[in-house]
């Protein structure tokens, strides 16, 4: 979806080390002033959010604006920055285009995670692993209510398309192209020669149960601990109704980013 509509209000989300992007903030402030664009806080009803950081900054911005309908565009100060669209040396040029409405918006699905009666959204992924560092766990799993058995492993990752290029990819999981309404399930170091990642659609939820006789499993959502599963407890994961809105320069497509980041 192309915007085409000039931006009137912009929120800025910076890297956790704000001193590292102080100059970029000043450059953005000067550009916004020259274009008559108001820089506002996250609660100020922005038309667009600009991140100055890497994929972690994009992740925080997605969470912040999940219910606000605000697209997020990134200037890459990170190491990979797969979700970002603008490099540091083209900050003014790229953001001038974005402020003029020359950007595309991609809707990315989220996950709905339920554990012990608590629901949380996940933008990137959910990871279930042993609460004891270095210990193997036994995880039972079912998709769409159909039991698929119990697997000794180091953990399991369930990720969205935006998260498929993160921890999922580093563990041999497939990349999901932006635009797919699906999630991927990838086991970490499974003790089996036959288990492969699964890509499942919107209407099939995943249930993961801790079948480890004497150990707990920690559930991590987008890098933050959500809770623990004692033996017999389960976490439920399904594709959610909320969407992350990723803004990119029109020519910075998924495949152009993929080619630059992973294929070159």
In the chain the domains, ranked by start, together with CATH numbers, are: 9-103+249-261 (3.40.50.10330), 110-240 (2.60.200.30)
Question: How many helices, marked H, and strands, marked E, lie in the chain?
Answer: 5, 17
CA distances from 25 to 21, 58, 92 (A): 6, 16, 11
Which of 23, 47, 55, 214 is catalytic? The answer is 55
- Model's pTM, two decimal places? 0.92
Q: Is 55 a catalytic residue?
A: yes
Encoded tokens for 72: 């997020």
What's the Rg (C-alpha) of the chain? 20
Per-residue pLDDT of the chain (264 residues; tens, 9 = 90+): 665 689 999 999 987 667 778 889 999 999 999 999 999 988 889 999 999 999 999 999 999 999 899 999 999 988 888 999 999 999 999 999 999 999 999 999 999 999 999 999 999 999 999 999 889 999 999 999 999 999 999 999 999 999 999 999 999 999 999 999 999 999 999 999 889 999 999 999 999 999 999 999 999 999 999 999 999 999 999 999 999 999 999 999 999 999 988 876
């Amino acid at each position: 979806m192309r915007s085409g509509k000039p931006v009137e209000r912009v929120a800025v989300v910076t890297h956790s080390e704000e001193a590292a992007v102080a100059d970029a903030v000043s450059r953005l402030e000067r550009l916004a002033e020259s274009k008559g664009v108001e820089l506002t806080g996250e609660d100020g009803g922005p038309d667009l959010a600009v991140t100055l950081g890497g994929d972690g900054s994009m992740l925080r911005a997605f969470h912040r604006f999940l219910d606000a309908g605000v697209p997020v565009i990134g200037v890459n100060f990170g190491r990979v920055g797969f979700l970002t669209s603008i490099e540091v040396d083209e900050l003014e040029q790229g953001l001038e285009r974005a402020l003029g409405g020359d950007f595309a918006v991609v809707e990315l699905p989220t996950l709905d995670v339920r554990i012990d009666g608590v629901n949380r959204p996940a933008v990137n992924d959910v990871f279930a692993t042993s609460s004891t560092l270095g210990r193997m766990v036994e995880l039972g799993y079912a998709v769409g209510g159909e039991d698929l058995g119990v697997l000794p492993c180091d953990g399991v990752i369930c990720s969205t398309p935006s998260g498929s290029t993160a921890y999922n990819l580093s563990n041999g999981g497939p990349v999901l192209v932006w635009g797919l309404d699906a999630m991927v399930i990838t086991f970490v170091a499974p003790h089996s020669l036959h288990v492969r990642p699964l890509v499942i659609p919107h209407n099939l939820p995943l249930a993961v149960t801790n079948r480890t006789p004497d150990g707990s499993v920690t559930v991590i959502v987008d890098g933050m601990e959500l809770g623990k599963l004692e033996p017999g407890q389960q976490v439920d994961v399904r594709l959610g109704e909320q969407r992350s809105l990723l803004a990119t320069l029109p020519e910075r497509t998924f495949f152009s980013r993929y080619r630059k980041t992973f294929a070159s």
